[in-house]
Amino acid sequence: MIRTKLTERYGIERPFVSAGMGFIATPALAAAVSNAGGLGQLANGAAPPEVLRKLITATRALTGRPFAVNFIIETTAFGPLATDAHLRVCIEERVPAVVFHWAPPPVEWVRMLKDAGCDVWLQTSSITTAQAATASGVDIVIAQGGEAGGHVRGTTGLFTLLPRMVDAVRPAPVIAAGGIADGRGMAAALCLGAAGVCVGTRLIATVESNAHDEYKRRITEATEEDIVRTCIFGPEWPDGPMRVIRNRVVREWEGNDTKTPPQPNPPQIIGKTMLGGREYLMPKFAAILPTPETTGDFEEMCLAAGESAALVTTIGSAPAIVQTIAREAEQILEQQRAAVASMRSK
Ligand SMILES: Cc1cc2nc3c(=O)[nH]c(=O)nc-3n(C[C@H](O)[C@H](O)[C@H](O)COP(=O)(O)O)c2cc1C
């Protein structure tokens, strides 16, 4: 069993956190990871506060173990994705940890959550942002390497970013995100000083994830050469750099992809999906990820995934994946310790 500041703080068995992935990390995935001894993240995505409460209740119905709620701090076509009202729901529901991404939370939010006994985490790629956040009371930092899937601000790879972050925010625990899809990655992250890992792309290709089957299939087929960083997606959230699987629309705009292109005239609909119980007609370049309700042209859709998609070849069950990755990491760390001991005894 690997014990770290993360496992001790939340009384969990494995220093494994599932990424809060909008549209994908719904109650089934978050609960499955928590039930497997990790810490599941429930993604709020673009859900309004009353829907968030239902999602938390649904997660609680599937697990009695701790889980975290994830918010993106950004104003999109759906309005601000995190508001005072969302945080009040987390406080009322006694969620043990709230995780923010993209922008750091205002100090008043940090205070409000911590006064209510709720831990505050920030996912960032910036050392200075992380230092300011921990100085303002943020408890845990997720260091997001440039290889990570989904919206990704930074370009520095995890092998450089992680030890820098660990040194910069010590004694705050740092969780490693980006490129981790097996026990080797987890062991490496722990050796670089992480208190745990945050895994996204590997968990898209699971039975419990809310990704469309075709999206899952493309994750299992992608190699590292199929994964690119682009800003083309997002009439809903323009110009946000994302790591995605290359498809026709990405290929067509490669080299011209530092901004979201203007909408074609006349408008073009690339598919249909459901958002918050309502039908959503997906405009060209939509940043909405395909879920089981989505229909349309997958060559036009945003298929967010990190470089670690190259390590994913099967669709599995989330608990088995969490347990296998953690067990492999443990074995590797034990082998390394044994190898050093045997060198010393010679
Ligand atoms: C499909 C997808 C959606 C994501 N959505 C979010 C999100 O809503 N909030 C967030 O904090 N991070 C989000 N991320 C980023 C993850 O938190 C994390 O940084 C990333 O998945 C780690 O890299 P990996 O994909 O190589 O495991 C998303 C990532 C993916 C792949």
Max Cα–Cα distance, the chain, nearest Å: 75
Q: By C-alpha distance, which of 198, 201, 284, 281 is closest to 242?
A: 201
pLDDT of 333: 97
Could you give the CA distance from residue 232 to residue 238 in angstroms, rounded to a whole number?
A: 8
Residue 222 near ligand 1, beta carbon < 6 Å: no
Ligand 1 center to 177 CA (angstroms): 8
pLDDT of 26: 98
CA-to-CA separations, 231 to 131, 184, 250, 290, in angstroms, rounded: 27, 31, 10, 18
Residue 123 near ligand 1, beta carbon < 6 Å: yes
Q: Give 306-329 as a 3 state SS string.
A: CHHHHHCCCCECHHHHHHHHHHHH
Could you give the CA distance from residue 58 to residue 120 in angstroms, rounded to a whole number?
A: 22
Testing ligand 1's pocket by substitution, the residue of 101, 140, 218 carrying the most ligand atoms inside 8 A of its CB is 101
Q: Residue 308: CB partners within 8 Å, gap ≥ 6?
A: 147, 149, 178, 179, 180, 181, 185, 201, 202
Residues in the chain: 346
Which atom in ligand 1 lies closest to the alpha carbon of residue 19?
17
Question: Peptide bond preceding 171: is omega within 30 degrees of 0, i.e. cis?
Answer: yes
Q: At what angle do helices 158-169 and 127-135 cross, to 10 degrees?
A: 30
- Under-70 pLDDT residues of the chain: none
Residue 206 near ligand 1, beta carbon < 6 Å: no
pLDDT of 285: 98
3-state SS assignment for residue 275: strand
Residue 24 near ligand 1, beta carbon < 6 Å: yes
Sequence-ordered alpha helix ranges (H) in 182-223: 183-191, 201-204, 213-221
Testing ligand 1's pocket by substitution, the residue of 16, 21, 224 carrying the most ligand atoms inside 8 A of its CB is 21
Please check whether residue 22 is in contact with residue 209, taking contact to mean a CB–CB distance below 8 angstroms. no
User: Which residue(s) pair with 197 in the sheet?
Assistant: 16, 176
